[in-house]
Each structure stands twice: as C-alpha cells, then as structure tokens.
C-alpha cells in the first residue's frame, strides 16, 4: 500500500509526536504501532492510524 501524505511520514518518523501533542507520556507510544490501513468495502483508506499492540 502506498501513501504520500505528509502526516503519514511525520508520524512514521516521529512515532512519539502524537503523545507529546496530547500531553501524554511518550512511554505510552511503545504500546502502539503506526501503520496505513485500508478498508476494502469501498476502498476507504486511512493514511495513518495508531493501533494498540495489545488490548488489556
């Protein structure tokens, strides 16, 4: 899958940035991965989404 948005590149490179913006501890970023996700129903694609590695 290919994406070219500036936000995708920023969050992919600086994976703790969202947590810094939200005022959350950057250590929480280790529990998440940033990826591009496509919903195949009508080819609706999220250019970037933070997803938790595991649910507790």
pLDDT of amino acid 4: 65
Please report which residue ranges of the chain form alpha helices under DSSP H: 6-13, 17-22
Residue positions counted in the chain: 56
d(Cα 50, Cα 11) in Å, to the nearest integer?
Answer: 9
pLDDT (tens, 9 = 90+) of the chain, 56 residues, equals 455 678 888 888 898 998 999 999 999 888 888 888 776 677 677 788 888 887 66
């Amino acid at each position: 899958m290919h994406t070219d948005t500036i936000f995708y590149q920023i969050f992919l490179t600086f994976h703790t940035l969202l947590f810094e913006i939200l005022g959350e501890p950057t250590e929480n970023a280790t529990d998440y991965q940033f990826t591009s996700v496509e919903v195949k129903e009508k080819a609706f694609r999220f250019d970037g989404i933070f997803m938790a590695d595991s649910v507790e």
